[in-house]
Structure formats: C-alpha cells, structure tokens
DNA sequence: CCCGTAATCTGGACATTGTCCAGTATTGGA
DNA sequence: TCCAATACTGGACAATGTCCAGATTACGGG
C-alpha cells in the first residue's frame, strides 16, 4: 500500500515499449489500473494523492502516449469527458447509465471481433468498432421507476425514418 | 429557394409533437436535413445564412428538444463536437475517419436491432446501442499509404489483455 | 381580432475539457 | 559524472456547452 512499492513490473513494461520511465507515468498507470473508467481529471486527483502534484499536461501527455502504445484504452462516452481503462484489445464494450453516467464493461454479444464486419465499408479501412450500450442502471431504475422523458410508444411509430418520410405522415394525419 | 417556402410540412410535424413553431426551429430543422452530421456550430451558421441571426442557446435548446422528441438524432464522435442528423430509429451506425473526421452512415451489419442483445446486461435496462466504426477514408488512405503511428503487428500481440496480464510477459521476456 | 400567459429567444458570463507553448527539470546513455 | 533528448510545469488559449435574467414571440381564449 506504500507509494513506491513494486514498480518493477511497470518499469519493465514501459521499457519494453521504449517509453521513458518517470514517476508521473508510473503513478498514472497505477491510477488507471486501480480505477477503471476514470476521467483524466479524476486520474490526476488520484495521482496527486500519491505523488503530491502533477500538471494537467503531463496527465494528458501520458494518457495519450499509453493509448498510442496500446497499454491503455480511451473511451469517449457522449456527453462526458474521455475515460481510460486497463483492458485493451479484447473487444469488450461499455454500458452507460443515461441517468447517473456510471459505466460498466460488457462482453461482446456477438463473438470475437463482431462489429468489425460492416455491411458496406464505403472504401474505408476499418480498424476498430466501438459499441456503447445506453440504458439505466439498477440503482437509477429503482429511484425512478418510469422516467417522465419517455413518451408512450404510440407517439413514435417504428416506421419513423427520415424527417422527410415523416412529413408524409404529418400531411395524412392532419 | 426562398426562405419561407414550403414550411407547412415541418409546421405540421412540429405541431403533431406538441412543439411550438418558431422561425428558429424551422430553420434548424431544415439545416439538419440539408447537412447531415453537422455540428451545432455549423448548423448555427447555416441558420444565420437563412434567417439572419440566431443565438447559440436557441440552437442548443432546439436541437436538444428535437432529440428528445426523436425527430433528430445526436451522435457524439469521440474527439469531436456532437453532430446531428435526420435519420432516427432505423438503427444505422457511423463510420468515422481517424484522419480527417469525415462521417458516413453505415447500415447495421447484423440485422434489425442487433447490438441490443448484450451478453450480460448487469441489471441495466438497455434501450439503445451505438456503434462507431473507426478507420481511414479513401481520400486519407490515398494521401498517406502507411501511417507512421501504426506499429507493426508484432509489437502488439493479440494476447495482450490487462496491464496486469502483460506484466507477466514483461517479466518473462526481460 | 386582440390580449395575456407561457414558452421561447437573446446575449453575456461561466464551466469543463483539452491543446499550445516556452522554460525548467529529469532520464538514461556515453 | 555529464550531456542531450525527453518529459514536466504553469499559464494562456480554444472549443463546446450550460446558466441566467430579461426581452420577445406564439397561440389559445375572449
């Protein structure tokens, strides 16, 4: 539980990837491991609690470097700052609560590297597929059984597509 | 091509959804339709070109309202501002170029509502799955055949998982 | 057709997340 | 141990949103 304990593994890992070893980097790596899905800001706080202080720039630089080296994965949930985690290259996805923003890992539904097989790649060279599941976590469901923002299904027919398509319906119905 | 032409369809659509009709809202809806994947800022510019001026707040308010009403879909690519589009409820996904950020629609690979079937929902009530494919568009591929940022596959074995797992390898190999 | 109220829009301040830059400190090899 | 390359610091800046109070507009009822 001491601050400088047992960095030898991390040091070796960094060296193996030709990355200079600094106290800031070690602290950031430990922070990412110990608190998955944390934002850069949260990680900075964690690091400060351990090594005293760190500049915002060092946090961003290091996280960017680790992401480049595939030692850390960056996930960017809509409406929130980027988050970072330990697990890389295993094609898991994320489940985010619309109400409280909590994030959990979720294994891929389809198989090994599923979503990489797009229907039509438009000439793109696709190297990754990112999947975010949206919903409400157990705690938030308990707190508010039926959210008011949800309109009844009757108000949004499944046939709705383009605005232009819906316009036809509007004409008919009014 | 005149500004006030043919709003009756949009007016009916808004009324059908119990939304007050304003010049700003009509202009924003037309802007979203005519330029898919535009950011709020770009849409504001488009609107200003048509009705003269609009406040930033009105743009955000209106887009938020339309998203709530499921008349517009908000997509939030990592590293970029939110973008808005016309197509809703048809479960298509997005393909984004890592180099230039261009975004194209892409039909779902798996079928109707595929990714909604998560392996383990952790007690969440899931209502949407968002998929982003990352890659490089044809233009950017042509411009830079082999990006320098890509390390050879030999440097990142498929077996890489957690940092902690990789640590074992580090020990063995060094 | 006019009025009043509720909803909307405006414009400025502020918050968050991230980048840029110049100068200083640290790392790691010679 | 010393040096050059690399990394870190701290302040300024940029982009994207949100908050708020007051002015304006929409639209249902008289």
Phi, psi of A132 (to 5 degrees): -120, 125
Bigger pLDDT: B158 or A102? Answer: A102
A135/B128 Cβ within 8 A = yes
Predicted local distance difference test score (pLDDT) of residue B137 = 84
Of A89, A117, A120, nearest to B161 by CB-CB distance is A89
Predicted local distance difference test score (pLDDT) of residue B63 = 97
What span, in angstroms and rounded, lies between the C-alpha atoms of B168 and B17?
58
pLDDT digits (tens, 9 = 90+) for A30-61: 999 999 999 999 999 999 999 999 999 999 99
Fold of A90-174: Dna Ligase; domain 1 (3.30.1490)
Residue nearest to nucleotide D17 (CA to C1'): B60
For the cut 50, the answer to whether the pLDDT of residue B156 exceeds it is no
Q: Which among B100, B96, B161, B126 has a CA at the least distance from the CA of A92?
A: B161
- Strand D near-CB residues (< 7 Å), B 40-99: 40-41, 56-57, 60, 64, 76, 80-82
Fold of B1-88: Arc Repressor Mutant, subunit A (1.10.10)
What span, in angstroms and rounded, lies between the C-alpha atoms of B107 and B90?
9
From-to residues of CATH 1.10.10.10 in chain B: 1-88
Q: How confident is the model at residue B55 (pLDDT cuts 50, 70, 90)?
A: very high
What span, in angstroms and rounded, lies between the C-alpha atoms of B19 and B25?
10
Predicted local distance difference test score (pLDDT) of residue A38 = 94
Helix (H) or strand (E) holding B29: helix B23-34
Q: Is residue A29 within 8 Å of A47, Cβ to Cβ?
A: no
From-to residues of CATH 3.30.1490.190 in chain A: 90-174
Residue nearest to nucleotide C27 (CA to C1'): A20
pLDDT digits (tens, 9 = 90+) for B100-113: 777 888 876 554 44
Q: Does domain A1-87 have CATH number 3.30.420.40?
A: no
Q: Let me know how long chain A is.
A: 174
DSSP B85: E
Q: What token pair was written down for A136?
A: 């409400």
**Residue B159 CB neighbours (<10 A):** 10
Phi, psi of B119 (to 5 degrees): -65, -45
Bigger pLDDT: A150 or B139? Answer: B139
Quick check: B28 CB within 7 A of strand C?
no
Q: How confident is the model at residue A109 (pLDDT cuts 50, 70, 90)?
A: low
Bigger pLDDT: B36 or A172? Answer: B36
Predicted local distance difference test score (pLDDT) of residue A112 = 43
Predicted local distance difference test score (pLDDT) of residue B157 = 42
Query: Helix crossing, A23-34 with A40-51: angle to 10°?
Result: 120
Average pLDDT rounded to a whole number, residues B19-36: 96
Query: What's the first-to-final CA gap in chain B, in angstroms?
Result: 70
A chain contacts of residue B76, beta-carbon cutoff 8 Å? 76, 78-79
* Chain B residue at shortest CA distance from A131: B131
Q: Is residue B126 within 8 Å of A135, Cβ to Cβ?
A: yes
Of B16, B127, B167, nearest to A173 by CB-CB distance is B16
Rg of chain A in Å (alpha carbons): 22
Quick check: A71 CB within 7 A of strand D?
no
* Chain A residue at shortest CA distance from B170: A13
What span, in angstroms and rounded, lies between the C-alpha atoms of A67 and A88?
9
Place of tokens 């984004």: B96
Quick check: B48 CB within 7 A of strand C?
no
Average pLDDT rounded to a whole number, residues A81-90: 86
Nearest-Cα distance to chain B for A54, in Å, is 22
Q: B74 forms bridges with which residues in the sheet?
A: B84
Pairing outcome for strands B103-106 and B125-136: unpaired
- HEC-encoded secondary structure of chain A: CCCCCCCHHHHHHHHHCCCCCCHHHHHHHHHHHHCCCEEHHHHHHHHHHHHCCCCHHHHHHHHHHHHHCCCCEEECCCCCCCEEECCCCCCCEEEEECCCCCEEEECCCCCCCCCCCCCCCCCCEEEEEEEEEEEECHHHHHHCCCCCCCCCHHHCCCCCCCHHHHHHHHHHHC
The complex scores an ipTM of 0.76
What span, in angstroms and rounded, lies between the C-alpha atoms of B75 and B77?
6
What span, in angstroms and rounded, lies between the C-alpha atoms of B88 and B112?
14
For the cut 80, the answer to whether the pLDDT of residue B37 exceeds it is yes
Helix (H) or strand (E) holding B130: strand B125-136
From-to residues of CATH 1.10.10.10 in chain A: 1-87
Predicted local distance difference test score (pLDDT) of residue A110 = 54
Nearest-Cα distance to chain A for B55, in Å, is 21
Residue nearest to nucleotide C28 (CA to C1'): A20
B chain contacts of residue A74, beta-carbon cutoff 8 Å? 78
């Amino acid at each position: 539980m001491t601050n400088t304990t047992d960095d030898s593994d991390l040091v070796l890992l960094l060296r193996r990837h030709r990355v200079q070893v600094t106290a800031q980097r070690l602290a950031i790596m430990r922070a990412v491991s110990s608190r998955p899905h944390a934002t850069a800001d949260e990680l900075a706080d964690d690091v400060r609690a351990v090594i005293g202080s760190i500049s915002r720039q060092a946090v961003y630089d290091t996280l960017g470097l680790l992401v480049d080296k595939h030692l850390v994965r960056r996930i960017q949930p809509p409406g929130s700052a980027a988050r970072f985690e330990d697990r890389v290259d295993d094609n898991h996805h994320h489940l985010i609560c619309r109400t409280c923003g909590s994030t959990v890992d979720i294994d891929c539904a389809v198989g090994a590297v599923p979503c990489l097989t797009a229907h039509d790649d438009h000439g793109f060279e696709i190297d990754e597929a990112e999947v975010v599941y949206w919903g409400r976590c157990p705690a938030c469901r308990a707190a508010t059984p039926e959210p008011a923002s949800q309109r009844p299904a009757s108000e949004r027919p499944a046939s709705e597509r383009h605005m232009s398509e819906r316009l036809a319906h509007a004409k008919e119905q009014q």
